[in-house]
Amino acid sequence: MYLAGILGLCALLPLSGASYAGNSASFLQSNTQPSQAPAQAPSQPSNAGQAPNAKPDASATPATTPAKPAPAKKRRKKSSSTTDGSKKTVVRQGGTGDTTPQLTPTVSEADVSKQRETTKQLLSATDSNLQKLSTRLLSKEEQDTVAQIHQFMDQAKTADSKGDTERASKLAAKAHLLSEALANP
Protein backbone atom coordinates (compact mmCIF):
# COMPACT_ATOMS: atom_id res chain seq x y z
CA MET A 1 0.00 0.00 0.00
CA TYR A 2 2.84 2.38 0.85
CA LEU A 3 4.68 1.38 -2.28
CA ALA A 4 1.67 2.30 -4.43
CA GLY A 5 1.50 5.74 -2.80
CA ILE A 6 5.19 6.37 -3.33
CA LEU A 7 4.98 5.28 -6.94
CA GLY A 8 1.99 7.58 -7.48
CA LEU A 9 3.89 10.54 -6.05
CA CYS A 10 6.93 9.77 -8.18
CA ALA A 11 4.72 9.79 -11.29
CA LEU A 12 3.54 13.33 -10.51
CA LEU A 13 7.00 14.78 -9.84
CA PRO A 14 9.12 16.11 -12.73
CA LEU A 15 11.73 13.52 -13.63
CA SER A 16 15.42 14.36 -13.38
CA GLY A 17 18.02 13.45 -15.98
CA ALA A 18 19.61 10.87 -13.69
CA SER A 19 16.56 8.64 -13.96
CA TYR A 20 16.94 8.46 -17.75
CA ALA A 21 20.57 7.39 -17.78
CA GLY A 22 19.74 4.16 -19.55
CA ASN A 23 17.38 5.68 -22.13
CA SER A 24 19.04 8.74 -23.72
CA ALA A 25 16.51 9.10 -26.55
CA SER A 26 13.60 9.72 -24.21
CA PHE A 27 15.83 12.04 -22.13
CA LEU A 28 16.52 14.20 -25.14
CA GLN A 29 12.89 14.18 -26.18
CA SER A 30 11.71 15.32 -22.71
CA ASN A 31 14.30 18.14 -22.59
CA THR A 32 13.48 19.48 -26.09
CA GLN A 33 9.71 19.73 -25.51
CA PRO A 34 9.24 21.53 -22.18
CA SER A 35 5.82 22.99 -23.01
CA GLN A 36 4.21 19.57 -23.48
CA ALA A 37 2.94 17.35 -20.74
CA PRO A 38 5.54 15.27 -18.92
CA ALA A 39 7.17 12.65 -21.06
CA GLN A 40 5.86 9.16 -21.15
CA ALA A 41 7.74 6.84 -18.92
CA PRO A 42 10.05 4.43 -20.68
CA SER A 43 8.45 1.13 -21.38
CA GLN A 44 8.28 -1.11 -18.40
CA PRO A 45 9.88 -4.53 -18.50
CA SER A 46 7.63 -7.38 -19.46
CA ASN A 47 5.88 -9.22 -16.66
CA ALA A 48 5.27 -12.35 -18.71
CA GLY A 49 7.25 -14.63 -16.39
CA GLN A 50 5.79 -13.19 -13.18
CA ALA A 51 2.64 -14.03 -11.33
CA PRO A 52 -0.32 -11.66 -11.91
CA ASN A 53 -0.18 -10.33 -8.31
CA ALA A 54 3.60 -9.94 -8.22
CA LYS A 55 4.93 -6.48 -7.34
CA PRO A 56 6.76 -4.64 -10.13
CA ASP A 57 10.53 -4.47 -10.04
CA ALA A 58 11.83 -1.53 -7.95
CA SER A 59 14.10 -0.40 -10.80
CA ALA A 60 11.12 0.09 -13.13
CA THR A 61 9.86 3.65 -13.44
CA PRO A 62 6.29 4.35 -12.32
CA ALA A 63 3.35 4.87 -14.65
CA THR A 64 2.23 8.45 -15.35
CA THR A 65 -1.33 7.88 -14.16
CA PRO A 66 -1.77 8.52 -10.45
CA ALA A 67 -2.59 5.49 -8.35
CA LYS A 68 -6.02 5.42 -6.72
CA PRO A 69 -5.94 5.29 -2.96
CA ALA A 70 -6.79 1.87 -1.60
CA PRO A 71 -10.07 1.64 0.33
CA ALA A 72 -9.66 1.83 4.09
CA LYS A 73 -9.51 -1.56 5.74
CA LYS A 74 -11.68 -2.28 8.72
CA ARG A 75 -9.65 -3.36 11.69
CA ARG A 76 -10.82 -6.07 13.95
CA LYS A 77 -9.99 -6.21 17.60
CA LYS A 78 -7.43 -8.79 18.50
CA SER A 79 -8.68 -11.35 20.96
CA SER A 80 -6.73 -11.68 24.16
CA SER A 81 -4.81 -14.87 24.48
CA THR A 82 -2.27 -16.20 26.87
CA THR A 83 1.18 -17.43 25.94
CA ASP A 84 -0.03 -20.99 25.56
CA GLY A 85 -2.62 -19.94 22.97
CA SER A 86 -5.73 -20.41 25.10
CA LYS A 87 -8.18 -17.53 25.24
CA LYS A 88 -8.84 -15.75 28.49
CA THR A 89 -12.14 -14.22 29.50
CA VAL A 90 -12.24 -10.79 31.07
CA VAL A 91 -15.26 -10.10 33.28
CA ARG A 92 -15.84 -6.41 33.82
CA GLN A 93 -17.06 -5.16 37.19
CA GLY A 94 -16.59 -8.59 38.73
CA GLY A 95 -18.67 -11.65 38.04
CA THR A 96 -21.91 -12.50 39.73
CA GLY A 97 -20.86 -16.12 40.00
CA ASP A 98 -17.70 -15.20 41.90
CA THR A 99 -18.39 -15.83 45.54
CA THR A 100 -15.49 -16.15 47.88
CA PRO A 101 -15.92 -19.03 50.26
CA GLN A 102 -15.83 -18.22 53.95
CA LEU A 103 -12.65 -19.69 55.38
CA THR A 104 -12.86 -20.77 58.98
CA PRO A 105 -10.20 -22.65 60.85
CA THR A 106 -11.15 -26.02 62.18
CA VAL A 107 -10.64 -26.00 65.91
CA SER A 108 -11.59 -28.95 68.08
CA GLU A 109 -14.13 -28.57 70.85
CA ALA A 110 -11.44 -29.24 73.42
CA ASP A 111 -9.39 -26.29 72.15
CA VAL A 112 -12.44 -24.02 72.13
CA SER A 113 -13.31 -24.85 75.74
CA LYS A 114 -9.66 -24.39 76.75
CA GLN A 115 -9.53 -20.94 75.10
CA ARG A 116 -12.79 -19.91 76.80
CA GLU A 117 -11.45 -20.97 80.18
CA THR A 118 -8.19 -19.07 79.59
CA THR A 119 -10.15 -15.98 78.53
CA LYS A 120 -12.27 -16.10 81.69
CA GLN A 121 -9.18 -16.45 83.87
CA LEU A 122 -7.40 -13.54 82.15
CA LEU A 123 -10.46 -11.31 82.42
CA SER A 124 -10.89 -12.08 86.14
CA ALA A 125 -7.18 -11.41 86.79
CA THR A 126 -7.50 -8.14 84.88
CA ASP A 127 -10.52 -7.16 86.99
CA SER A 128 -8.58 -7.78 90.21
CA ASN A 129 -5.67 -5.64 88.88
CA LEU A 130 -8.10 -2.83 88.02
CA GLN A 131 -9.57 -3.05 91.57
CA LYS A 132 -6.06 -2.49 92.95
CA LEU A 133 -5.59 0.50 90.66
CA SER A 134 -8.86 2.13 91.72
CA THR A 135 -7.44 2.89 95.19
CA ARG A 136 -4.56 5.05 93.94
CA LEU A 137 -4.37 8.32 92.07
CA LEU A 138 -3.65 7.83 88.33
CA SER A 139 -1.98 10.19 85.88
CA LYS A 140 -3.59 11.13 82.56
CA GLU A 141 -1.56 8.46 80.68
CA GLU A 142 -2.50 5.80 83.22
CA GLN A 143 -6.17 6.78 82.95
CA ASP A 144 -5.94 6.41 79.14
CA THR A 145 -4.38 2.97 79.62
CA VAL A 146 -7.21 1.96 81.98
CA ALA A 147 -9.73 3.08 79.33
CA GLN A 148 -7.90 0.96 76.76
CA ILE A 149 -7.99 -2.02 79.13
CA HIS A 150 -11.78 -1.65 79.51
CA GLN A 151 -12.15 -1.53 75.70
CA PHE A 152 -10.10 -4.71 75.32
CA MET A 153 -12.17 -6.45 77.96
CA ASP A 154 -15.47 -5.44 76.31
CA GLN A 155 -14.22 -6.54 72.90
CA ALA A 156 -13.06 -9.88 74.37
CA LYS A 157 -16.50 -10.51 75.90
CA THR A 158 -18.23 -9.63 72.61
CA ALA A 159 -15.92 -11.89 70.59
CA ASP A 160 -16.48 -14.76 73.04
CA SER A 161 -20.25 -14.39 72.82
CA LYS A 162 -20.05 -14.46 69.00
CA GLY A 163 -18.02 -17.68 69.09
CA ASP A 164 -14.66 -16.15 68.09
CA THR A 165 -12.74 -17.70 70.96
CA GLU A 166 -9.28 -17.09 69.49
CA ARG A 167 -9.85 -13.34 69.17
CA ALA A 168 -11.44 -13.20 72.61
CA SER A 169 -8.41 -14.93 74.11
CA LYS A 170 -5.97 -12.51 72.43
CA LEU A 171 -7.92 -9.43 73.54
CA ALA A 172 -8.13 -10.73 77.11
CA ALA A 173 -4.36 -11.33 77.08
CA LYS A 174 -3.73 -7.74 75.92
CA ALA A 175 -5.97 -6.34 78.62
CA HIS A 176 -4.25 -8.47 81.25
CA LEU A 177 -0.75 -7.42 80.16
CA LEU A 178 -1.68 -3.74 80.33
CA SER A 179 -3.26 -4.16 83.74
CA GLU A 180 -0.15 -5.99 85.03
CA ALA A 181 2.07 -3.17 83.76
CA LEU A 182 -0.04 -0.61 85.63
CA ALA A 183 -0.55 -2.62 88.80
CA ASN A 184 3.12 -3.62 89.21
CA PRO A 185 5.31 -0.63 88.22
Amino acid 16: pLDDT: 56
- Cα–Cα distance between 115 and 104 in angstroms, integer? 16
Amino acid 20: pLDDT: 47
> What is the C-alpha end-to-end distance of the chain, expressed in Å?
88
- Cα–Cα distance between 14 and 22 in angstroms, integer? 17
Q: What is the H or E stretch that residue 149 is in? A: helix 140-161
pLDDT above 90 for 30: no
**pLDDT average, residue stretch 100-120:** 83
Average pLDDT, the chain: 74
CB 44 within 8 A of CB 61: yes
Amino acid 50: pLDDT: 52
- Cα–Cα distance between 29 and 26 in angstroms, integer? 5
- Which pTM was predicted? 0.44
Question: For the chain, which domains are there?
Answer: 1-29+56-70 (no CATH), 109-183 (1.20.1270.90)
pLDDT tens digit string along 42-94? 555 555 555 555 555 555 555 566 667 777 777 766 655 556 667 777 777 66
pLDDT tens digit string along 149-183? 999 999 999 999 998 999 999 999 999 999 999 88
Tally Cβ neighbours within 10 Å of residue 26.
Answer: 17
